[in-house]
A = this chain, B = another copy of it.
């Protein structure tokens, strides 16, 4: 999907937020806001939002000198989500359809955005939220069939912390599928997105091959991938795409992709034809 004018004020706001997370003082924060404001007119609205934010975040990192401003938040998110892991695993195992329950947890993990401990809900709340999740777009039946049949699955991760929920889903997929699974994280730290360290920390390397995008974009952008990553993407029979960033990047691909996400902003919600906050399990058309 293409960026809209609404993305520009949002990117400016997030640039400031990121400068603060990077520990920048007032004068550097000002420099970030002013510099990003200056480049906004140069950002092509024919590109997808993650392509534009890639440029914005690069500039923020360059000015603040901090290339991993959310490191502590990511570690905290992993720690908290790992503490929940046994409960989630049990809840999924006891569900009538464990694969569906695992999908819901994976989407709930995206909803909850484990950015900081203070935003993180009580475990009971999380369990209730996930299991009671109403999928506004629900292509689960197709998803299940695809997962059963695929020999090679590419799973595109989104945030740190959330990867614990991805692990639960991958465990369930392996119950019904012979597929070899590749778990794709970002090559370099970008916002609170998961990197190789996050995937390993939550034990995903025991279940899947960890691979990286080869880029600093906050999404999987096929156009930016090195040839071996692109080859993997092309040969995957099923792509599971987590989060809004990956959806924005891949919404126009012709490929067997299932998007698991929450619609987090008005632009994406409008594009999907749903309300903000809607939980989605959507087959690429």
Q: In the complex, what residue of chain B is closest to A14 when comparing beta carbons?
A: B9
- The stretch of A26-34, A187-195, A237-245 in contact with B is A26-34
Main SS class of interface, A: helix
Q: 1/0 per position for A25-50, CB-CB distance to B under 8 A?
A: 01001100110011011000100000
For the complex, give the distance between the alpha carbons of A131 and B34 in Å. 44
Cβ of A16 within 8 Å of any chain B Cβ, yes or no, is yes
A6 within 8 A of B: yes
Determine the distance from Cα of A29 to Cα of B10 in the docked complex, in whole angstroms: 16
Query: Once bound together, how far apart are the Cα atoms of A70 and B41, in whole Å?
Result: 26
Binding site for B on A (CB under 8 A): 5-6, 8-10, 12-13, 16, 26, 29-30, 33-34, 37-38, 40-41, 45
Could you tell me the distance in whole angstroms from the C-beta of A76 to the nearest C-beta in chain B? 22
- CB of B10 within 8 A of CB of A33, answer no
Query: How many copies make up the complex?
Result: 2
Write out the residue numbers on chain B whose beta carbons fall within 8 Å of the beta carbon of A41: 33-34, 37-38
- State the 3 A-B residue pairs at the shortest beta-carbon distance, nearest first: A9-B13, A34-B41, A9-B12
Set of chain B residues within 8 Å of A37, measured between Cβ atoms: 8, 12, 37-38, 40-41
Query: What is the bound-complex CA distance between A16 and B16, given in angstroms?
Result: 19
One of B8, B13, B26 near A33 (C-beta < 8 A): B8
Q: Are A29 and B5 in contact (CB under 8 A)?
A: yes
What is the minimal beta-carbon distance from A27 to any residue of chain B, in angstroms? 11
In the bound complex, do residue B6 and residue A16 qualify as a contact, i.e. CB atoms below 8 Å apart?
yes
Once the chains are docked, how many angstroms separate the CA of A37 from the CA of B8?
A: 9
A-B contact pairs, 26 of them (CB 8 A): A5-B16, A5-B26, A5-B29, A5-B30, A6-B13, A6-B16, A8-B12, A8-B33, A8-B37, A9-B9, A9-B10, A9-B12, A9-B16, A9-B33, A10-B13, A12-B12, A12-B37, A13-B13, A33-B40, A33-B41, A34-B41, A37-B38, A37-B40, A37-B41, A38-B38, A38-B41
How far is B35's CA from A63's CA once the two chains are assembled, in angstroms? 23
Known pairs A9-B10, A9-B16, A16-B5; A34 contacts B40 (CB<8 A) = yes
Please give, as numbers and ranges, the residues of chain B lying within 8 Å of A34 by CB-CB distance: 40-41
Contacts of A45 in B (CB 8 A): 30
Give me 12 other A-B pairs in contact (C-beta within 8 A), A5-B30, A9-B10, A9-B12 excluded.
A8-B16, A8-B33, A9-B9, A9-B33, A10-B13, A12-B12, A33-B40, A34-B40, A37-B37, A37-B40, A38-B38, A38-B41
